[in-house]
Structure 1
């Protein structure tokens, strides 16, 4: 988390200003632009903003170029996304495919590495965000994804997503030959789990977990040990 912002939690305007200027802009300007050659700094900044807007969603590099109205190439975007990942801001998850080559060729699932980044860039207060089901769903999913990515650093566990024929698994954890498919729910409303069922059929032996909703409470999951999920 960002301890410096904790004291501003009751002042949303100052909190947002702190995240945007003291954290995001400082990180991009000092940790990336001063240390690495970036030919299109404006593109890198817009890519980060796009990542916050689409956090928790799969977006191809071609669609990113269209959204950014940029004539650059996908290789540049992929490189900038890696720079943002290295600075702890944004990551593009690969699709789980069982084969490294197919994983690297997949469209990335954008994910902020701290939901404060997503919240600060959004036009909603906390109360307003709770009334926006789509945004709130992506925010909750991003919180789980950010925790998984941060918690697995320095371990042999890799974090992916999976999709096929309009069926999706929010997150896939892979450790050697072991796999865990994770579905995230932001409400207690009962819905189908066709994505996890399809994934389990394609990759037998997969452990499945439901987080939020009728499954593991979010607070309990985010307070746990990621290694123990494989027990």
Structure 2
């Protein structure tokens, strides 16, 4: 009996240690969206639209809401008639994703916005407000800058995991203190592969969403440099 008890304790310790081996951000990366959940919501959206003369079950947002945050799905309008319950990975069910629509005025398509990014941005902005101004580091383009995070109390520069490339991406800040994720690394990879149908002056963020379940919700618009073909901020 003692041997059995000892084995049980050792097993428990191994499980705990295994969990400790993975930092919280690594655990977060494993919380991936499930295709069947997205498809279920898409079917519900299509059914609602058909039964309601083209109307969409979305929440009301401000007119100037960024495009990838503009059409959040209102599950109260489609549950339980069009789907039985909230998707398990949705914010409404305690998950980390907000379900949104793109192409809402043409062919509405369900995508996901990672709300953990919003939490990271909120923390950076709180630190900026406590200091009174953004501690700019380098001028990137137009009204876009990098930040000196050491002056905000960070030991390391904060980054966000990209669902598009699997890489860690930095943040940028505008002159008015708004913080965004910088997706130039992801966009460069896509551009280098070719098969793009954009011209200088076009917003090329559609390259990110065309083959992904996600949207770059907290981003500035980008375009293509007419000389180098590199992704650049589409700002004044």
- Name which structure has the greater RCO, CA cutoff 8 Å, separation 6+: 1
Fold agreement, TM-score > 0.5: no
TM-score for the superposition, normalised by structure 2: 0.23
TM-score for the superposition, normalised by structure 1: 0.24
